[in-house]
Amino acid sequence: MIFRRQKPRLTPVTKTEVVRKLLDLAVVKAGNGDKAVLVFFDLRCPFCARLYKETEEILLDMARRGLITFAMCDYVVHRDAEPLHRKLRCLREEERLKLISDVYNGKRVEAGECPEGNLRECERLAEEVGVYGTPSLLFYDFSKGRGYIHFGYMSPSDVLDAISSL
């Protein structure tokens, strides 16, 4: 039996103001391009870890070159991840990617005590654009006022294809 690889299903999104608010609330944000890639993630989600490990370098490089705005928004699905997400929001911005990398690479991370911050607001707004689980990726072109959302893991080449299709 031969299995054909299906192209990712991209659902249209046209909620520019909600996407801007999500960027403001994002726990990680790099770059300032007109095209944005927002990843909704859970620190205990295995497919989020895989997506992060395979695409983080590529997306950060694109953001540093001004091609995109790359952001990561909390969307806690696994309740045992909540203290880690709170801790993430208490760290200085430059320390956050290291914590995400440590968690996704299986290093032991102490959550400690930390207030919730904008965790619930990020989740509420994410649901307004159609996020219902993790990982979810939102590709948005602010110059056109539209974009796409995809639920589930995407390969690096599919992520790049979705960016170029904006």
Q: How many CB atoms lie within 10 A of CB 32?
A: 10
pLDDT by 10s per residue, the chain, length 166: 555 556 667 787 889 999 999 999 999 999 999 999 999 999 999 999 999 999 999 999 999 999 999 999 999 999 899 999 999 989 998 999 999 999 999 999 988 778 766 778 888 999 999 999 999 999 999 999 999 999 999 999 999 999 999 9
pLDDT at 12: 78
pLDDT at 154: 95
Number of domains the chain contains? 1
Note whether residue 58 is domain-resident.
yes
pLDDT at 136: 96
Residue bearing tokens 């619930």: 120
pTM of the entire predicted model: 0.91
Note whether residue 5 is domain-resident.
no
Write the CATH number for 66.
3.40.30.10
Note whether residue 2 is domain-resident.
no
Give the C-alpha separation, 82 to 128, whole Å.
21
Note whether residue 1 is domain-resident.
no
Give residue 106's region: left, alpha or beta (phi > 0; psi -120 to 50).
left
3-state class (DSSP) for residue 163: helix
- What range defines the domain where residue 153 resides? 11-164
Note whether residue 6 is domain-resident.
no
Give the C-alpha separation, 5 to 40, whole Å.
24
Note whether residue 110 is domain-resident.
yes
Note whether residue 4 is domain-resident.
no
pLDDT at 7: 64
Note whether residue 98 is domain-resident.
yes
